[in-house]
Amino acid sequence: MMLLQLLAVERLKIRRKAIWPLIAAGGFGVVLLQAANYALRYDYLMKLNADNPWGHMLSEMHFLAVPSLIMGLAIIASMIAGVEHATNSWKQTLALPLSRLSVYAAKFVLLMGLMFAACTMLAVGTVVLGLCLSLGTDIPYTELLRVSYLPLLAALPIGAVQLWLSVSLANQAIPLTVGVLGTVVSMFGMTLGDFVPYKWPMLDNQWNEPLIPAALGLTVGLLIYVAGSVHFVRKDVK
C-alpha cells in the first residue's frame, strides 16, 4: 500500500520533466529507425529474408533496441534521482515518515515500470510496422514477446547499477558516462564472454537458450538492487 502511495508521489515528481515523451521516443524511435531502414532498401531486405521476413525483422529490432535500452536505463535513472539532487531535497524527502528502503524501492519500481512501458511500445510498434510492410499476418508472438521483454530482464543489473550510481552521486556526469560506455560496450556484445552483464540483453550465449541470460539478469539485478538499497539506508544525505 505504502509503495503505491510512494509511486504516486514519484509520478508527481516526474511530471513535466518530459520523461514520458522520452520513453515514447525510445520505444517508437527504434521502430521508426527500423522503418527508415526498410524504406531505404525494402526490396533488398525482402529478397534477403524471403523465407522468414518476421524473424529477420525481429532480430534486427532486437539489435537496435539493446543500445537504446541501456542508454534509456541510464538516462531515466538519472532523471528520477536528479529530482532530489537538482533541488537539494534528499533531506526533505527522507524527513518524511517513510522508510528509506521504500523510497529506494519506489524509484527502482518506477524506473523498471517506465522501461516496461517503452518495451510495450516497441512490441506494439513492431507489429504495426510489420503489418504495414506486409510481412504477412503470421506473426510469431512468442518470438515477439521474447525480443521485447527478455532484454529488459537481462538488463536488470545494468538498471540497478545505474540507479545506485545516480542516487549516490550528486554529479550525474559519472552515472551517465557509465551508461554511455555500457551502450557502446553492448554493441560489441557478441564478442564478449557470456559472463559479462552487458552481453546479457543480446540474449546470445553458448547454450543458445535466451532464458539463461534473462534468469541471470533477474538474479544478479535483484542482488545489486539489495546492495544499493542497503547502501542508501546507511548513507549520509546532504
Partner 1 sequence: MWAVLRSEWIKWRKSPILWLIFVSPALCSLIGLLESDDMSGGNQWDELLHTMGIMHALLLMPLLAGVFSASVCRLEHAGGGWKQLLALPVSRGAVYIGKFVSVMLLLLATQAVFLGALLLVGTIKGYTDPIQWPGLLFSLIGSWLACMPLASLQMGVSVAWASFAAPLAINAIFTLPNIIIANSERFAPYYPWDQPVLVMLSQQLDDGPDAFHLSMTTLCSVISVSFVLFFVVGQMYFRRKPI
Q: Choose the binding region for partner 1 from 65-73, 117-125, 130-138, 230-238 (rule: CB under 8 A).
A: 65-73
Minimum CB distance to partner 1, residue 137 (Å): 27
3-state secondary structure of 46: helix
Binding flag, residue 40, partner 1 (CB under 8 A):
yes
Binding flag, residue 18, partner 1 (CB under 8 A):
yes
Q: Is 25 or 222 the residue whose CB approaches partner 1 more closely? A: 25
Minimum CB distance to partner 1, residue 77 (Å): 9
Binding flag, residue 82, partner 1 (CB under 8 A):
yes
Q: Choose the binding region for partner 1 from 35-43, 90-98, 103-111, 142-150 (rule: CB under 8 A).
A: 35-43
- Please name the residues in contact with 199: beta carbons below 8 A apart, sequence gap of 6 or more: 186, 189, 190, 192, 193, 205, 213
Q: Are 105 and 229 in contact (CB under 8 A)?
A: yes
Binding flag, residue 39, partner 1 (CB under 8 A):
no
The cell numbers describing 184, all together, are: 557502446
Closest CA relative to residue 144, chosen from 131, 155, 160, 161: 131
Binding mask 180-219 for partner 1 (x = CB under 8 A): xx-xxx-xx--x----------------------------
Q: Choose the binding region for partner 1 from 68-76, 109-117, 128-136, 152-160 (rule: CB under 8 A).
A: 68-76
- Give the C-alpha distances (Å, rounded to integers) separating 228 from 37, 44, 104, 116: 40, 48, 9, 21
Q: Are 26 and 118 in contact (CB under 8 A)?
A: yes
Q: Choose the binding region for partner 1 from 60-68, 116-124, 146-154, 221-229 (rule: CB under 8 A).
A: 60-68
**Contact residue for partner 1 among 36, 39, 50, 96 (CB under 8 A):** 36
- Give the C-alpha distances (Å, rounded to integers) separating 47 from 10, 102, 150, 174, 237: 49, 53, 29, 45, 59
Question: How far is CA 140 from its chain centroid?
Answer: 23
Closest CA relative to residue 176, chosen from 86, 73, 83: 73
Contact set with partner 1 (CB under 8 A) = 17-18, 22, 25-26, 29, 33, 36-37, 40, 64, 67-68, 71, 75, 78-79, 82, 86, 171-174, 176-177, 180-181, 183-185, 187-188, 191
